[in-house]
Structure 1
């Protein structure tokens, strides 16, 4: 088996940063009324700015595949061109269409020649699953290199017109708010962007990182869906998919809006996250003392203190000085977040040879978690 190294990292954040006060202008006002939930959600998540693939006139500047194409090209130079890529593995929770796959669309924009592609589905963990596929492919010498990416273009899912049809059908219902909180919650949480890495079997480049191992854990066998799109959650906790609704109901029920069961999220995301972390530690014979930089993808700073406390409670405390976060100024870009976080850490100049980095990515869709353990070469 070959050792596998991250030899290049890139990020692409579209357009200029968007402040909290500009968000509703970009995404649109629902039913002509300013959101009551926006300030509550923003106060809790503490995100100060984020990026949208929307210009100053409200027009879309990039689709998801174009965002990914841009970040892949940033990995390339005179010595490594897009035509040299042997495997393209791209994860996202917000593909531009159901078919063709996301990676196929990115490959179409690259126009770089024949190669293998892979499109893991899911939410935040899809970016890590894309990385693991590349990791295993290089490790087993199926390919000599792989480009792995995570990206999101959720702004198109959060625009007001996605919800307006539903609003029209709620106006006559006395006991319903204009928009249920679990649907509006994610409007103020998610944003756009892409991150990518180049994997090779040799420690090339100025800042190579060796991937020691990657692990994943799913709790779907015991947990209901928590974040979902293209479905409606029933009283018994099961999802009824869009394909089982008449077409004229799709807009009325805002079936394609992303939704979050916030009560299920708060009660379980941290407990299961630390439980899976302990399993990863035990499997590989390490602990918090073997980590120099801890990069957790948290959707909101609301969970930061809670995660710290839960790790203490379960006996695996992580000192604050090891944490590295960038949510406040980058925003929550789902599958891309961990790539952009790692890119920023490497660019900071803080790393030294031998440092150990732990990537920790949760996915609330049905509670799954991915880990990667890296060594600075």
Structure 2
């Protein structure tokens, strides 16, 4: 088994910015209520865009950056496209197949969508690591793309304020060398605490029991982070950043207190995008890479948690 190298990232956001004040005109809430309880200041909603178009745009940006950074890379060297999403344009064909078409990879790439909700990006990375070991081509495009605005019930003020639309893409390469790249994933069947009914259902909107999800999330993050550190022989002293799924600032704030002295390592950008489900970890990575905060040799932990219930974490050396 090789290790996954992050080659390049990209993101795509809808043009429409929706502030907390905008939300308060639709449902009984306020900017203060939302920000105090969630850390969210704004989110993006699709109008002209869609889950598919955002995924394609994010993929193209990651590829353009990769062409500048990696002299060995060529688009035709991509052997795998995985799109983590629960809100694709179609039940089928997959969003990933449409990305492959847009990139001119028809007939030359394995492509599929993965449904693990907010853990989807991490699940996709683990899938990619395993599959690339069986492929001649060693590059994979991992995308989280969501159009959650179409799944919101704007009569449910505790849920509709939390989510936004967006996409993030990460081009990874499997390299046969020494390094750190370990991912572990879990699931626990639960269709009560966080659920959205599927195709053909009249009421296909996100329903969530907030307190139950909070308790699950803080437990899952701690368990996941501790396990991947144990498996790799590392501790928090060795880690430069912890990149959690950006669901709610309160969740991350609660967890980081359990790692005394390392609280500043827990990255947050939920205020800028809200909860973008499978896209959120990718958006955080893109912001970190493009701001120059992530540098070669650094070690990061990424952790997702979401409906399923699912949770997954990985530790990587940049």
Q: Given the two structures, how large is their TM-score scaled by the length of structure 1?
A: 0.73
Instruction: Please tell me whether Structure 1 or Structure 2 has the larger radius of gyration of its CA atoms.
Output: 1
Following TM superposition, by how much is the alpha carbon of 1:274 offset from its aligned partner in structure 2, in angstroms?
A: 1.3
Match of 2:149 among 126, 148, 155: 155
In 1, Cα distance between the equivalents of 2:163 and 2:92?
23
Q: How many angstroms apart in 2 are the aligned matches of 1:282 and 1:14?
A: 39
* Aligned position for 1:66: 53
Tell me the SS of whatever aligns to 2:226. helix
Number of residue pairs matched by the alignment: 309
Distance, in Å, in 2 between the alignment partners of 1:153 and 1:318 is: 37
Q: 1:131 deviation in Å?
A: 2.0
- Partner-residue secondary structure (3-state), 1:119: strand
- Quote how far apart the aligned CAs of 1:110 are: 4.0
> Conserved in 1, the CA contact under 8 Å of 2:116 and 2:310?
no
SS in 1 for 2:114: coil
User: Residue 5 of structure 1 aligns with which residue?
Assistant: 5
Matches within 5 A, 1:67-216: 67-77=54-64, 82-114=75-107, 115-158=109-152, 160=154, 179=155, 183-201=156-174, 212-216=181-185
Write out per-residue CA displacement over residues 188-212 of structure 1, whole angstroms, 9 at most, x where no aligned residue: 1110111111122459xxxxxx761
Q: 2:143·2:168 contact (CA, 8 Å) conserved in 1?
A: yes
Bigger proportion of residues as strand:
2
Aligned partners of 1:275, 1:201: CA distance in 2, in Å? 27
Shift of 1:96: 2.1
- State the Cα deviation string for residues 53-108 of structure 1 (Å, max 9, x = none): 12xxxxxx111111101111112346756555321111112222323333233334
Residue in 2 aligned with 1:43?
36
Instruction: Tell me which residue corresponds to 1:336.
Output: 279
Residue 53 (structure 1) aligns with: 46
TM-score (norm 2): 0.86
Aligned-CA RMSD value: 2.7
Say whether residues 1:230 and 2:173 are aligned partners.
Answer: no
- Please state how far the C-alpha of 1:269 moved relative to its aligned partner: 2.0
The answer (yes or no) to whether the contact 1:2–1:138 under 8 Å persists in 2 is no
In the TM superposition, residue 46 of structure 1 has moved relative to its aligned partner by 1.9
CA contact (8 A) 1:125 1:370 kept: yes
Structure 1 alignment gaps of length 5 or more = 55-60, 161-178, 204-209, 232-241, 244-249
Which residue matches 1:373? Answer: 315
Structure 2, unaligned runs of 5 or more:
none
For the 8 Å contact 2:217–2:251, the answer to whether it is kept is: no
